[in-house]
Amino acid sequence: MKTIMATCRHRVLWGLLLLMWAGLCLPVCVEVPSGTEAVQGHNMTLLCISCMQREEVYAVTNVEWYYQPRNGNRSLIFEYNEGKTREHLSPFKGRLQWIGSKDLQDVSLILHNVTITDSGLYICIVNRTLHFEAHQHSTMSNVEIDLMVSEIQREDFTSVLSEIMMYILLAFLTLWLLIEVVYCYRKISKAEEVTQESVTDYLAIPSENKESCPVPVEEQ
């Protein structure tokens, strides 16, 4: 009986873990690519995620955002330095909003009121200085976003399909977990019935014959 219950608990626990994993797809920092299509008059998130692999190490992070138009030169439009943000003189002046996270692994911007002329290449450069006990180490990473602005919003079938697949996965895991619970319940109930029947049969044996009758032993 104990073996059956332990096995059932193990299977149900694995089901719960899988269900939790499916519901919490991003428990840690994941470098997700930014969208590359925007709609005129709407806001656009310029996503820049640069994960730091050694979170236990103190680090100083500086961020620079550049913009390069089609067939044009690159120019600095936004800067994060020593905890302060600064917008540089550009066509985006007053339309850029810093939405970076506290740990500075997400250093994204929101571009408000997008226009057709905002199409072009956006470059996010992240400089980190890791402070170890004996030395310092500098790293640099960059993310490029080739943005295309359109007048009418187009349906994103990829995101819709991904969302549908996620709901299907959650439904499947929930159904599988329910089946496991029912299966384990029936198996435990059956084992209890067999044990009860064995005990009842033993009690029904006359006293003079019990010495030669083995006592039913519960399965371990």
Q: Is the pLDDT of residue 182 over 80?
A: yes
Residue of 156 and 177 predicted with greater confidence: 177
**Per-residue pLDDT, 202:** 58
Read off the pLDDT of each residue in 70-82 and give the average, rounded to a whole number: 94
**Per-residue pLDDT, 27:** 44
**Per-residue pLDDT, 133:** 83
Fold classification of 31-154 is Immunoglobulin-like (2.60.40)
118: tokens are 């905002």
Surface-to-core class of residue 118, CB atoms within 10 Å of its CB (0-12 exposed, 13-18 middle, 19+ buried): buried
Alpha carbon distance, N-terminus to C-terminus of the chain:
6
The percent of residues above 70 in pLDDT, for the chain, comes to 70
Residue of 214 and 146 predicted with greater confidence: 146
**Per-residue pLDDT, 93:** 93
Read off the pLDDT of each residue in 143-154 and give the average, rounded to a whole number: 88
Would you list the domain boundaries of the chain?
Answer: 1-30+155-196, 31-154
Rg for the chain, CA atoms, rounded = 31
Read off the pLDDT of each residue in 95-107 and give the average, rounded to a whole number: 94
pTM more than 0.85? no
Read off the pLDDT of each residue in 196-218 and give the average, rounded to a whole number: 59
Read off the pLDDT of each residue in 126-151 and give the average, rounded to a whole number: 92
